[in-house]
Structure 1
């Protein structure tokens, strides 16, 4: 699964307060005055949103920067601090001398040690979103979601570490086998996410028979996309944000709509959101993303293997060879740096894919006016910034700006004209 698709799947599984129609941002403690929109053209968005809506979106965006910057800093600084010193090796070694015990210690420290730093940041972001009316879930439910996330991530991390260090200690070409394994796991998780992980975080119920369901199924049929069912996700127990998506493969493919979207948007706007998601299916974005992600995972393992077996880095980490599980924090440090480097490129690819899905929705429905209305509704409901500054947008955003999407709809012409 590609990075953009992994990010979207993770957001859906954890009940994130974002939406496909607008970049998800978190806000500040107050709403700024309605001064001109900064960033990608000072006039962008001014014709489609009120000064108050623009100011509100800007305030929420400004509030996310400390949280996002803090999370990114922790994700990079902690592995570097423990992986490029002997601290990580000593920490894992404290679990005992046995190989298996050290692998378990590596997994536990990798997953649990960042929590005292990341959970307060996540809680702060939640508080900010709540001040903008985006959060409906109580703290107990939020805490339960964090526990569910740990119960998913910890076994995956432990399984990966056991496989990598077993191979590193027994096979000469361990990195090649690990690369094949990484590619296979990427494919497996792509198929398993809709069926195994998503139901852990949301309840899905079949949409009641009626015109709304019939229209969505007819839209998919007109687009040549076989859909097994239309489901409603109980997103309202966490958020007021709006979203819909298409998930699954073959017989498991289904349209999923947030109950917040169905209760807020007009039926035609719901169809426009779903038409965008059908564009991802028609253009095979998930299978292609999965294949691209599998290749990237395999290539990444090969690069990481060359890095973590380099003697100067092993000396810094305080281990003699990578096959020693005490090197796990060095592995985490190398992976964190690699993620920080390739992240912006992955988000740029995501924006390109989202623009193509927007064009598909316009071609399928032939309704730019409703598309614009839908973008306005999503942006306002999700408290998005219509035109954020260029640099943060290029580095952090997985979707085009709302202003750019609306401009593209106005410039759209029917195919063949």
Structure 2
């Protein structure tokens, strides 16, 4: 056991050194030579100090991401190996005979321990964001969001874990199928309540105050046959200097939301392009496609977790102090497998997301018929968030749900040039 733990940490150190070397020395973030001097070249819209800040911030942030990535897996593995998973179960069983309360106690301690593991990295990311003037949120506000997220996560997972283990105990062979069937309405429920229950826990949402701008945004929505009646703004200026907008929710709770920082840093045409981009997601049914794909993926995911979990208990159950899958002590094993599966699938889901984002860019150009403001908007997004214009290949592969700015801006510039040629 000591050797396994020792080699686990040695492996982590070697991995950390390899990733640090790749990010700081081996990777190439320079733009293609043919794009030098174009609007996609950060040297044309960032000064020398901003260029240095973008490079530093991206490298530090990417390093932190990869250092943090395996810590959750290592935590679950060590917890199982040392018998901690079983010990927490026994402690919960001594407190109460009620299974649903045992699940709550187990989740509290498991989440608390994992939070302690992640907190140093989360705090460093927060301080880094403050140092580079991305985050303006005071530490007290940041800690409040951490606490809200802690309890929100426990509450949601409590419901999930209680239902899951009831099914595992009652339907040993087909629990994964029934769980998947129940997972489908659960996804829609969470997406439905997200805008009206969960999001307001972190920020204040109001109707867009600029009614003239709202009228123009709703005009674009009408052109796209989107039955929108309101546009919402969120007070993100209390937390960040970066800018964003998004579509959230399903059915009657679907919302188009923009950050209030967007209103102060972009001009009207740039804002209209960003909102047209979000409308593109709605018109092309990206939310529906995303949910459908997630449901299909989750079917195979449940099957994979079931098969590997059963094999792991047969093969390593004695070492993990687990006899059956229906024990609460198996929860870290299930969470470990889910986390690993999501990571392995992330390159595919990221690629699909990047494709959808590009399609929304194209839709927004056709809707607004004015690509020039889009270029200005993307340049300002880069500047305000110190975004990396051309990330290393591995970073893009594993992290980017949007096309890199070099691709988005160069596409828009080419589109603008083609439009000018046709006009001539």
TM-score, scaled relative to structure 2: 0.84
Q: Which residue of 1 aligns with 2:67?
A: 70
Match of 1:50 in 2: 46
Matches within 5 A, 1:97-136: 97=94, 98=97, 99-136=99-136
Conserved 8 A contact 2:195-2:255: no
Residues 135, 224 of structure 1: alpha-carbon distance in 2 compared, 3 angstrom cutoff: same
1:362 aligns with 2:365: yes
Name the Cα RMSD after superposition. Answer: 2.2
Equivalent residue number for residue 212 of structure 2: 211
User: For residues 211 and 104 of structure 1, what CA distance do their matches in structure 2 show?
Assistant: 49
| 2:399 pairs with 1:403 | no
Which of residues 89, 96, 113 in structure 1 aligns to 2:93?
Answer: 96
Post-superposition offset of 1:86: 3.0
Given the superposition, is the C-alpha separation of residues 344 and 75 from structure 1 closer, same or farther in structure 2, using an over 3 Å criterion?
Answer: farther
**Which protein has greater RCO, CA pairs closer than 8 Å, 6+ apart?**
1
**Which runs of structure 2 are paired with 1:303-342 in the superposition (5 Å)?**
303-310=304-311, 311-342=314-345
Asked which structure has the greater CA Rg, the reply is 2
By how many angstroms is 1:182 displaced? 1.8
Instruction: Give the secondary-structure state (helix, strand or coil) at the position aligned to 2:93.
Output: coil
> For 2:63 and 2:29, how far apart are their aligned partners in 1?
19
Q: Rate the CA distance shift 1:201–1:255 in 2: closer, same or farther, 3 A.
A: same
Q: Give the secondary-structure state (helix, strand or coil) at the position aligned to 1:134.
A: coil
> Structure 1: how far apart are the matches of 2:332 and 2:163?
16
Distance change >3 Å, CA 232–CA 314, structure 1 → 2: same
Cα distance between partner residues in 1 of 2:229 and 2:81: 50
Q: Tell me which residue corresponds to 1:5.
A: none
When residues 72 and 288 of structure 1 are mapped into structure 2, their CA distance, relative to the original with a 3 A threshold, is: same
Task: Report the Cα distance in structure 1 between the residues aligned to 2:344 and 2:30, rounded to whole angstroms.
Answer: 24
Indicate yes or no: 2:347 matched with 1:344.
yes
Q: Distance in 2 between matches of 1:388 and 1:231?
A: 32
Residue 7 of structure 1 corresponds to: none
State the Cα distance separating 1:49 from its structure 2 match: 2.9
Deviations 1:237-262 (A, max 9, x none): 11111111233334333322111110
Please tell me whether the aligned partners of residues 207 and 213 of structure 1 are also in contact (alpha carbons under 8 angstroms).
yes
Q: CA deviation at 1:232?
A: 1.4
Q: Look up the match of 2:83.
A: 86
**Contact 1:136 1:239 (8 Å CA) reproduced:** yes
Q: Secondary structure at the match of 1:135?
A: coil
Q: Deviations over 1:360-412 (max 9, x none)?
A: 11111121211111111111111111112222121111111111100111222
State the Cα deviation string for residues 339-375 of structure 1 (Å, max 9, x = none): 2211222112111111111111111112121111111
The corresponding residue for 1:190 is 191
Larger displacement relative to structure 2 (346-355 or 83-92): 83-92
- SS state of the match for residue 70, structure 2? helix
**Structure 1: how far apart are the matches of 2:203 and 2:302?**
33
1:152 maps to which residue?
152
- The range that moved more, 265-274 or 344-353, is 344-353
Change (3 A) 1:209 1:308: same
Residue 253 and residue 322 in structure 1: after superposition, are their counterparts in 2 closer, same or farther (change >3 A)?
Answer: closer
TM-superposed CA distance for 1:47, in Å, is: 5.6
Change (3 A) 1:394 1:45: farther
Q: Is the 8 A contact 1:230 1:254 kept in 2?
A: yes
Q: Is the 8 A contact 2:61 2:125 kept in 1?
A: yes
CA distance in 1, matches of 2:336, 2:211: 53
Deviates more, 1:400-409 or 1:302-311: 302-311
Deviation at 1:154, TM superposition (A): 0.3
Q: Secondary structure at the match of 2:322?
A: coil
Higher helix share: 2
**Native 8 Å contact 2:191 2:250 kept in 1:** no
Contact 1:207 1:230 survives alignment (8 Å): yes
Give, in angstroms, the shift of residue 155 of structure 1: 1.0
Q: Which deviates more from structure 2 when the two are superposed, residues 251-260 or residues 272-281?
A: 251-260
1:38 and 2:38 correspond:
no
Deviation at 1:209, TM superposition (A): 5.2
State the match for 2:244 in structure 1.
243
Number of positions where the alignment pairs a residue of Structure 1 with one of Structure 2:
381
Structure 1 gaps of 5+ residues are: 1-31
SS of residue matched to 2:354: helix
- Please identify, of 45-54 and 263-272, the stretch whose mean Cα deviation from structure 2 is larger: 45-54
- Cα distance in 2 between the residues matched to 1:339 and 1:188: 21
Quick one: distance in 2 between partners of 1:64 and 1:124? 10
